[in-house]
Amino acid sequence: MGDDVDIVLAPRSQSAIIEIDPGLFDQIVLNLAVNSRDAMPRGGKFILETASVELDEVFTAQHLPMKPGRYILLAVSDTGTGMDQTTVGRVFEPFFTTKEVGKGTGLGLATVYGIVQHGGGHIWVYSEPGSGTTFKIYLPSAEDRLDEESRPQAEVTIRRREGTTVLLVEDDEIMLSLTRKLLEQNGYHVLEAKDGGSAIELLAAHNGPVDVLLTDVVMRGMGGPELVAKVVASHPATRVVFMSGYTGELIAQHDKMTEGIPLLEKPFTRSALLSALDAALQ
Ligand SMILES: Nc1ncnc2c1ncn2[C@@H]1O[C@H](COP(=O)(O)OP(=O)(O)OP(=O)(O)O)[C@@H](O)[C@H]1O
Ligand SMILES: [Mg+2]
């Protein structure tokens, strides 16, 4: 990675067992690492995180052909240049490269994509120009094969929230409408805005309380932290939850103002969304 890149390892679960050819797994990590190094010509941080996650049908329906179940998440982030949305949309295409002739073949991520798909997993990327990049790789957990006894599922009780008002701020339209739908199904009254500026306008025009603000962190124009500062000044009783495609580790590198505020990582499941709001409201 070079001397000026710090490598941060943040495993979040004790056991993260997958079944994969170790050589192929190395290829995944190496290709992502080389890309991150190239995106950080003046140094930065390269962050590897793991977690064991239970994905529901809301999540997998958006990521076919994945099936609901337990997955191991490997999140690979860097604090590099980031990408614009056109580039993000094409990164997994074979031969797509923004590098000079001779420097890149454009096969790195196509290879990673192939390995992950073949393993029954899914790869997802989130990036904004200037704010770094996070790749999230989900691979089926092989835990069950090791211990035959099926462990009881952790019970999560989610309260219905009839009439609780949430101000939802998200610049990605698909994400916005999906999140809105999930919240409304659980009784929430949803006020939605596509950016910080419109959220402030909406709030000024709204009579009545806003119980919780659920906002994206990195947005064009007013970012999440700035919006939170404004909302808290006028509505001190409003609870705040951030959501982001970046991981908490990366967000904390960028913005100290996010410290102490719960972060819901995208993409999320129905129960992760509703539990995050429950926790904030309690
Ligand atoms: N971490 C990253 N930060 C910024 N841009 C990235 C990152 N990873 C990939 N990219 C962009 O995606 C493009 C495709 O990446 P990919 O790894 O497939 O090919 P490459 O790195 O250009 O060439 P190769 O990997 O074959 O040497 C890159 O050229 C770059 O524009
Ligand atoms: Mg590459």
Return d(Cα 175, Cα 188) in angstroms, integer: 17
CA of 46 to the centre of ligand 2 (A): 15
Closest atom of ligand 1 to 111 CA is 18
Q: What is the mean predicted confidence (pLDDT) over 137-149?
A: 77
**Start-end of CATH 3.40.50.2300 domains in the chain:** 165-281
Whether the predicted pLDDT of 149 surpasses 70: no
Q: What is the pLDDT of residue 147?
A: 58
Whether the predicted pLDDT of 183 surpasses 90: yes
Return d(Cα 152, Cα 154) in angstroms, integer: 6
pTM more than 0.85: no
Nearest CA to ligand 1 atom 8: 35
- Point out the ligand nearest to the CA of residue 91: 1
Query: For ligand 1, is residue 36 a contact (CB within 6 Å)?
Result: yes
Among the four given CATH numbers 2.60.40.420, 3.30.565.10, 3.40.50.2000, 3.40.50.720, the one describing domain 5-146: 3.30.565.10
Q: What is the mean predicted confidence (pLDDT) over 79-102?
A: 94
Q: What is the pLDDT of residue 145?
A: 66
Q: Across the chain, what does the average pLDDT equal?
A: 91
Whether the predicted pLDDT of 78 surpasses 70: yes
Return d(Cα 269, Cα 79) in angstroms, integer: 26
Q: What is the pLDDT of residue 104?
A: 87
Higher pLDDT, residue 151 or 167: 167
User: pLDDT, tens digit, for every residue of 208-261?
Assistant: 999 999 999 999 899 999 999 999 889 989 999 999 999 888 888 777 777 889
User: pLDDT, tens digit, for every residue of 161-182?
Assistant: 999 999 999 999 989 999 999 9
CB 228 within 8 A of CB 198: no
CATH level 3 topology of 165-281: Rossmann fold (3.40.50)
Return d(Cα 228, Cα 189) in angstroms, integer: 19
Buried b (16+ CB within 10 A) or exposed e, 105-134: eeebbbbbbbbbeebbbbbbbbbbeebbbb
**Start-end of CATH 3.30.565.10 domains in the chain:** 5-146
Q: What is the mean predicted confidence (pLDDT) over 8-30?
A: 89
pLDDT band for 154, please (50, 70, 90 cuts): low
Query: For ligand 1, is residue 80 a contact (CB within 6 Å)?
Result: yes
CA of 76 to the centre of ligand 1 (A): 14
CA of 87 to the centre of ligand 1 (A): 9
Q: What is the mean predicted confidence (pLDDT) over 77-86?
A: 97
CA of 36 to the centre of ligand 2 (A): 8
Residue holding tokens 């056991």?
15
Q: For 196-254, give the secondary structure using H, E and C.
A: HHHHHHHHHHCCCCCCEEEEECCCCCCCHHHHHHHHHHHCCCCEEEEEECCCHHHHHHH
